[in-house]
């Protein structure tokens, strides 16, 4: 699969490590698929007056358990990604750099100067990819922010720009898949990612990623959970493990539709077998100069030179080497290079201008 698929576990685990391991075991794995984990500490991501502070406490997983989770996911063949929210995220990343393929920064974190500084020092010279989610930002701000981050914080890291936000779930009207096309136009040398967050129960949960790829996305993020009906958190836009195969299938079919060549072999053959070839409209004789006024154009099973080939030979002064009957094509064996001679007449007996050319 050419499209990169990133499973987003988010906080569907509710703080349960067993849930995470079961989910890792249940997800289909193949080339170009990774798993992303949201790593944060309650008192570094929020203050106690924040509505979800107590929930964040429940979600907390310590450093050692994260290391074991990352190691296990890696052993199962998945790329490991981390959502960076705070300094705790960076610390966990620093202790697991050998296991991590990339990190993601949500749009809400892109202005956290302390996190940016610490993160930059951690991955500046490492082959760690960086997803920048740009939800809620206008194009001028996206340009300014991405340029600043690339220049001052991640000069050697591959930057991936991501569209999409979580609306628990996100309404169809707010998906703005067209943003992918705009981002690809404004940042032609940058990989574009899309995270749809549409209702996981909707058929669109499998179609929107395809639409995004058709719009130019090369990277798809998709929320996953073990069971929407039994999961308390982050289930709204998640698909279940047994449904992931359908998403992978659709992405592969999408790649087939997009193709890898501008003109595939069968299309070349289609034109070759249906093109109207030049055929003699009248009898033509050996020695005649080739002239398109003497041709008609028809589909035929005969082999013969194309218009372009005949034009090229005409420019090189080829003529007919054989007689051609009406309704016949011309082959390379039917033509030859014209021999051009020069005749000079002289006054042989002139007494005034002897041997002068006439």
Residue 300 has a pLDDT of 95
- What's the CATH number of domain 265-337, 3.40.50.300, 3.50.50.60, 3.90.1210.10, 2.40.10.10? 3.90.1210.10
Contact 73, 24 (CB under 8 A): yes
CA distance 37 to 9: 6
Distances (CA, A) of 320 to 258, 290, 294, 310, 339: 45, 7, 12, 11, 12
Phi/psi at 28 (nearest 5 deg)?
Answer: -65, 140
Q: Assign a CATH topology to domain 4-258.
A: TIM Barrel (3.20.20)
Residue 339 is predicted with a pLDDT of 80
Instruction: Enumerate the β-bridge partners of residue 224.
Output: 239
Which SS3 state, helix, strand or coil, does residue 251 take?
helix
Listed residue (104, 94, 89) closest to 44, CA to CA: 89
* Cβ neighbours for 279, distance < 8 A, ≥ 6 positions apart: 295, 296, 297, 298, 300, 302, 304, 326, 327, 328, 329
Compute the half-sphere exposure of residue 100: CA atoms within 13 Å on the CB side of its CA: 28
Per-residue pLDDT of the chain (358 residues; tens, 9 = 90+): 899 999 999 999 999 999 999 999 999 999 999 999 999 999 999 999 999 999 999 999 999 999 999 999 999 999 999 999 999 999 999 999 999 999 999 999 999 999 999 999 999 999 999 999 999 999 999 999 999 999 999 999 999 999 999 999 999 999 999 999 999 999 999 999 999 999 999 999 999 999 999 999 999 999 999 999 999 999 999 999 999 999 999 999 999 999 999 999 999 999 999 999 999 999 999 999 999 999 999 999 999 999 999 999 999 999 999 999 999 999 999 999 988 766 666 666 666 655 555 5
Parse the chain into domains and list their residue ranges: 4-258, 265-337
Q: pTM for this structure?
A: 0.85
262: buried, middle or exposed (CB in 10 Å: 19+, 13-18, 0-12)? exposed
Pairing of strands 277-280, 219-223: unpaired
Instruction: Look at residue 352 in the predicted model and tell me its pLDDT.
Output: 62
pLDDT value, residue 354: 57
């Amino acid at each position: 699969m050419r499209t990169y698929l990133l499973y987003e576990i988010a906080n569907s685990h509710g703080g349960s490590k067993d849930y995470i391991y079961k989910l890792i075991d249940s997800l289909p794995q193949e080339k170009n698929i990774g798993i992303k984990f949201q790593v944060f500490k309650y008192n570094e991501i929020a203050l106690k007056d924040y509505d979800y502070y107590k929930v964040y406490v429940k979600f907390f997983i310590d450093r050692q358990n994260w290391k074991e989770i990352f190691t296990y996911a890696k052993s199962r063949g998945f790329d490991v990604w981390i959502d960076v929210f705070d300094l705790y995220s960076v610390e966990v990343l620093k202790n697991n750099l050998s296991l991590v393929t990339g990190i993601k920064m949500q749009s809400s974190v892109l202005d956290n100067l302390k996190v940016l500084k610490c993160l930059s020092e951690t991955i500046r010279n490492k082959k760690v990819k960086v997803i920048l989610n740009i939800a809620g930002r206008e194009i001028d701000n996206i340009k300014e922010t991405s340029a600043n981050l690339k220049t001052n914080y991640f000069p050697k890291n591959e930057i991936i720009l991501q569209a999409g936000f979580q609306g628990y779930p996100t309404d169809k009207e707010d998906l703005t898949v067209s943003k992918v096309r705009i981002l690809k136009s404004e940042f032609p040398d940058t990989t574009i990612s899309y995270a749809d967050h549409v209702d996981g129960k909707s058929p669109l949960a499998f179609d929107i990623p395809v639409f995004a790829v058709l719009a130019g996305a090369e990277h798809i993020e998709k929320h996953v959970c073990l069971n929407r009906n039994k999961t308390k958190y982050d289930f709204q836009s998640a698909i279940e493990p047994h449904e992931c195969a359908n998403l992978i299938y659709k992405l592969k079919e999408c790649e087939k539709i997009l193709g890898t060549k501008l003109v595939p072999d069968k299309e070349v053959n289609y034109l070759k077998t249906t093109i109207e070839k030049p055929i003699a409209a009248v009898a033509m004789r050996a020695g005649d100069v080739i002239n398109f006024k003497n041709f008609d154009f028809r589909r035929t099973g005969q082999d013969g030179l194309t218009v372009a080939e005949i034009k090229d030979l005409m420019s090189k002064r080829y003529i007919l080497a054989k007689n051609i009957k009406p309704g016949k094509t011309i082959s390379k064996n039917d033509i030859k290079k014209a021999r051009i001679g020069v005749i000079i007449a002289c006054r042989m007996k002139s007494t005034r201008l002897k041997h002068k050319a006439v």
